[in-house]
């Protein structure tokens, strides 16, 4: 099976299938996807997307991002849900190149895990109950999407090394994400030269920080997010297979 789904205008659309769970099962292919902005779907890309049979779209962006960049075309044909998990916007192109960027980004993720706890719970509940294949996305499919992807894979019992490696696959899209930014902002200079990067160390810092505060990632999802055990069971039943 193919993890990366090729589009002309989308650069970071991936299938989360194939990862092995601790109980010996594997994540189902063609059931859960992560992506960059579906507002870019036009022409052949839109047709390729529709052939995936996706029925649920979870948009993690701010409403103002959706207003500016658009949402998935013909959203009413899907179960479309907008759950903005980030509450404190920041401009990655303006990150000071003299600071530790990975620690800086991990700290921004930490803000999301606290500010967006309710929305994170709702996202996971939606994925557990989604009719048919589902996709969740933000703008670049990197940070907000990466965080939800890490939580889902962790709940499914996927090994930490695979969770981190999945996050870092965005590195393959970095060059195109940066090119898109430059095309959209011809009058600006990118202050941070690593725009669009997603090394595994960022997510490693995020998960380690959660373990330090809550004892484990599951502890965070249970105690802070309020995720019910029933939802975790639903996720595992829906997304894991012995085949």
**Are the CB atoms for 123 and 147 separated by under 8 Å?**
no
CB-CB neighbours of 237 under 10 Å:
10
User: Does the global pTM surpass 0.85?
Assistant: yes
Q: Which residues have C-beta within 8 Å of that of residue 60, sequence separation ≥ 6?
A: 83, 84, 85, 86, 123, 136, 137, 138, 144, 145, 148
> What element of type H or E holds 27?
strand 26-27
Query: How many CA atoms within 13 Å lie on the side-chain side of 149?
Result: 32
User: Rounded to 5 degrees, what are φ and ψ at 32?
Assistant: -140, 130
**Are the CB atoms for 147 and 166 separated by under 8 Å?**
no
DSSP 4: B
Measured over all CA atoms, what is the biggest interatomic distance in the chain, rounded to whole angstroms?
Answer: 52
pLDDT digit string (tens) for the chain, length 243 residues? 899 999 999 999 999 999 999 999 999 999 999 999 999 999 999 999 999 999 999 999 999 999 999 999 999 999 999 999 999 999 999 999 999 999 999 999 999 999 999 999 999 999 999 989 999 999 999 999 999 999 999 999 999 999 999 999 999 999 999 999 999 999 999 999 999 999 999 999 999 999 999 999 999 999 999 999 999 999 999 999 997
Buried b (16+ CB within 10 A) or exposed e, 64-100: ebbeeeebbbebeebbebbbbbbeeeeebbebeeeee
pLDDT computed for residue 131 by the predictor = 87
């Amino acid at each position: 099976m193919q993890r990366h789904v090729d589009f002309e205008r989308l650069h970071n659309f991936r299938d989360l299938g194939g990862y092995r769970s601790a109980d010996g099962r594997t994540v189902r292919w063609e059931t859960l996807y992560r992506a960059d902005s579906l507002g870019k779907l036009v022409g052949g890309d839109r047709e390729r997307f529709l052939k995936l049979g996706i029925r649920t779209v979870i948009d993690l962006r701010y409403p103002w991002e959706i207003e500016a960049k658009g949402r998935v075309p013909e959203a009413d044909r899907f179960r479309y849900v907008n759950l903005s998990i980030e509450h404190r916007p920041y401009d990655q192109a303006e990150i000071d190149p003299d600071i530790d960027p990975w620690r800086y980004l991990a700290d921004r993720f930490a803000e999301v895990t606290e500010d967006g706890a309710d929305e994170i719970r709702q996202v996971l509940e939606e994925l557990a109950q989604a009719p048919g294949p589902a996709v969740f996305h933000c703008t670049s499919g990197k940070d907000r999407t990466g965080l939800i992807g890490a939580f889902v894979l962790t709940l499914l019992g996927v090994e930490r090394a695979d969770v981190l490696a999945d996050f870092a696959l965005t590195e393959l899209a970095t060059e195109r994400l940066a090119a898109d930014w430059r095309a959209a902002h011809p009058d600006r200079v990118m202050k941070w030269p690593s725009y669009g990067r997603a090394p595994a160390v960022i997510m490693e810092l995020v998960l380690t920080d959660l373990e330090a505060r809550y004892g484990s990632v599951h502890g965070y999802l249970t105690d802070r997010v309020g995720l019910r055990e029933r939802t975790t069971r639903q996720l595992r039943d829906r997304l894991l297979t012995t085949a």
